[in-house]
Amino acid sequence: MNTLNATHNPSLTSWVAAANQPDQDFPIQNLPFGVFTTASQAQAHVGVAIGDAILDLAVLQQAGLINVAGDVFNAASLNLFINLGAAVWSSVRAQVSDLLRADNATLRDNAALRSQALVAQSAAQMLLPVEIGGYTDFYSSKEHATNVGSMFRDPKNALLPNWLEIPIGYNGRASSVIVSDTPIRRPNGQTKAPTQERPEFGPCKKLDIELETGFIIGRGNALGEPIRCENAEQHIFGMVLLNDWSARDIQTWEYVPLGPFNSKTFASTISPWVVTMEALAPFRVATPAQEPQPLSYLQHKPEVKYGVDIQLEVQLTPEQSQQATTICRTNFKDMYWSMAQQLTHHTASGCNTRIGDLMGSGTISGATPDSFGSLLELTWNGANPLALTDGSTRQFIQDGDELTIRGWAQGANYRVGFGLCRGKILPALAV
């Protein structure tokens, strides 16, 4: 599955000039899929990001330049396209790569078609890229689980006994997964300080991010038919950035014994572009050693690289100053449990998955304090406020703050990026 082909050639360039800039997300080696509308085109189309533009696959198919069986690009989600299977994903990627190559005149020199098929990203409205039937969130960063356990339970036994055996996960709320740049209203909820006799209902006081990635199911499994670990990656279409917004004070009061609920279900933001596993193939790395060795159903093949080297960072921008501060830099490659292990465990009971399902990694925290993937950890539950570049400080998110996650796999002279996963906090509704 990690085989490289002509689309991965680092020396490829595109006639879309912006795609050849080294520090932007969408070179010709990336070609992520998304869904968009424009002011003049209310019908959603599937497109591919290239430089500062979007290539409209519906227009190209209509023009006979993309060969795919079925009307899958005049669609409000990628699900129909994904349903065609991995060979078609790869074929479309190869066709798009070919059309966009600097030396291919077909579209490059057809001004009329180009003006229809190439849309400026600044002129497009991105939609949620997939219809998400199920959203599962895992908890697979050992550093994150250790930090949380140290803070709220016992620093000497920070990891719970099951953590090293199970890729712990829980069901999230699919209905409130939203696309980047959808504003988020601060949730109201029940909270109770230890000094209070009764809880109160009002605006969350500890609003937080969770820096995550997510993977999108590309091939489902039937109920009662588990996915084996060696086949798990064949079921993954691609990856997105994910911000699993969290209301820490609501979570503290509600989560025992059945887990987080209102503290998470008010919003989860994903980036609009799904970067395919094929695009990420050059960036696969080994995952960290696991001790103890997982039970056999969770064991990796030694010869396969299950990790992905994805650099991640988070910026916080207060409304008033508009000055961004980078509050976290980390990397996906250090996650303890792999996506393959997560999916294997998820389905081991017989649970079915479906095309478009979203599986979150869990908060991605590194080993150093500047690599923690949540304000909870970065400020150690508010004890150590962050100093922002505009002179203000933060324990948790304030109204008007905009949080932006960026992520990219770094190639020699290009990066395979995810675009932005961004959201701004609106004040809570009056109670």
Task: Look up residue 90 and give its two tokens.
Answer: 């790869």
How far apart CA 34 and CA 318 sit, in angstroms, is 29
How far apart CA 431 and CA 191 sit, in angstroms, is 14
CB atoms within 10 A of CB 334: 19
Task: Look up residue 135 and give its two tokens.
Answer: 């959203």
Q: Which residue, 266 or 408, is less far from a copy of itself as judged by CB?
A: 266
235 tagged catalytic: no
On whether the CB atoms of residues 35 and 216 are closer than 8 A, the answer is no
How far apart CA 289 and CA 61 sit, in angstroms, is 46
Is 255 marked within a binding site? Answer: yes
> Least CB distance from residue 186 to a copy of itself, whole Å?
9
266 binds a copy of itself (CB under 8 A): yes
- Sites for a copy of itself among residues 217-246 (CB under 8 A): 223-224, 226
296 binds a copy of itself (CB under 8 A): yes
291 binds a copy of itself (CB under 8 A): no
Largest CA distance in the chain: 73
Beta bridge partners of 124: 38
Pick one of 32, 260, 318, 366: the residue that binds a copy of itself (CB under 8 A): 260
Is 271 marked within a binding site? Answer: no
Task: Look up residue 193 and give its two tokens.
Answer: 């300080």
Q: Which of 144, 235, 345, 346 is catalytic?
A: 144
Is 278 marked within a binding site? Answer: no
Give backbone dihedrals phi and psi of 394, rounded to 5 degrees, phi first: -140, 130
Residues 347-386 vs a copy of itself: string with x where CB under 8 A? -xxxxxxx--x-----------------------------
How far apart CA 242 and CA 292 sit, in angstroms, is 29
On whether the CB atoms of residues 58 and 73 are closer than 8 A, the answer is yes
On whether the CB atoms of residues 94 and 5 are closer than 8 A, the answer is yes
Pick one of 171, 321, 368, 393: the residue that binds a copy of itself (CB under 8 A): 171
User: Which of the stretches 206-214, 320-328, 344-352, 390-398 binds a copy of itself when contact is defined by CB under 8 A?
Assistant: 344-352
297 binds a copy of itself (CB under 8 A): yes
Give backbone dihedrals phi and psi of 41, rounded to 5 degrees, phi first: -135, 95
Residue ranges for the binding site for Ca(2+)? 137, 210, 212, 244
Instruction: Please give the residue ranges that form the binding site for a copy of itself (CB under 8 A).
Output: 133-134, 139, 160-162, 165-166, 168-176, 178, 185, 187-190, 192, 198-201, 223-224, 226, 247, 250, 253-263, 265-267, 292, 295-297, 345-346, 348-354, 357, 429, 431
Binding residues for substrate: 139, 153, 251, 255, 363
Annotated binding-site residues for Mg(2+) read 244, 264, 268
The catalytic residues are 144
